[in-house]
Each structure stands twice: as C-alpha cells, then as structure tokens.
Amino acid sequence: MIPSLLLSAVLCAVCGLARNFPQLLLFRVLLGVAEGPAWPILNAMVKDSSSDATRGRNVGIVVSAAALVGLAAAPLLATQVASRLGWRWAFFAASVPALVAGLLVLMYFL
C-alpha cells in the first residue's frame, strides 16, 4: 500500500511536468497502474480491522469517502488551482493528499 500511495503522489506531480499530450497520457497511464494495487489492499486492511458486524459499514464509509473527495471536492479544488496558477499546479496540488496518505499509513501501520 505504501509504495502504491507514494508512487501515485510522485507520478501525479510528474504529470505537471509533461511537455505534450503523449507525455501526459503516458504519465496518467503509469499513475493508474500505480494506484491499482491500493484498492484491494485498502479493502483487506478494512476487513482485517473490522468485526463481522461492522465490516460492511466500514467498507462503505471508506468507499464513500473516496468517492466524495474524488468526484466532488477534487474537481472543485483542481479547477480553482488551475485557474489561478495554471494547469500544472493542479497536478502538483493533487499529489499532496496521496503523499500525506502514504506518510500516514507509513507512520501508523508499520
């Protein structure tokens, strides 16, 4: 989980350094590959830390929180950053939550 989160943060920031569309597309594909392992591991972590009675609720909270941030808050924040500082800075700003999440997981689960 930690390598996936940290690599995702780095690749998201690298997207802001793209010089053309093919580079941006390549970086985004690599970002998707890096993020892929995080969901199954996250679900396993929730399962292991939940009782049978609360497992479904806990998985629902995690998935709903991700959807809330990813589908609702992120576009609003990204467009505001991009409109004020440029599109590249939106990628740099978007990399911060993944970096923070990776560091928090590193601190509390190892």
92 and 14 Cβ atoms separated by less than 8 Å: no
Q: Please give the residue range of the domain that contains residue 8.
A: 2-109
Q: What is the pLDDT of residue 73?
A: 84
Q: Into how many domains does the chain fold? A: 1
Q: What is the pLDDT of residue 42?
A: 82
CB-based contacts of 64-69 (< 8 A; 24+ apart in sequence): 69/97
Distance CA(37)–CA(5), nearest Å, equals 9
Q: What is the pLDDT along the chain (110 residues), one digit of tens a residue?
A: 788 889 999 999 999 999 999 999 999 999 999 988 888 888 888 888 899 899 989 988 888 887 787 788 888 999 999 999 999 999 999 999 889 988 888 888 77
Burial 77-107 (b: 16+ CB within 10 A, else e): ebeebeeeeeeeebbbbbbebbbebbeebee
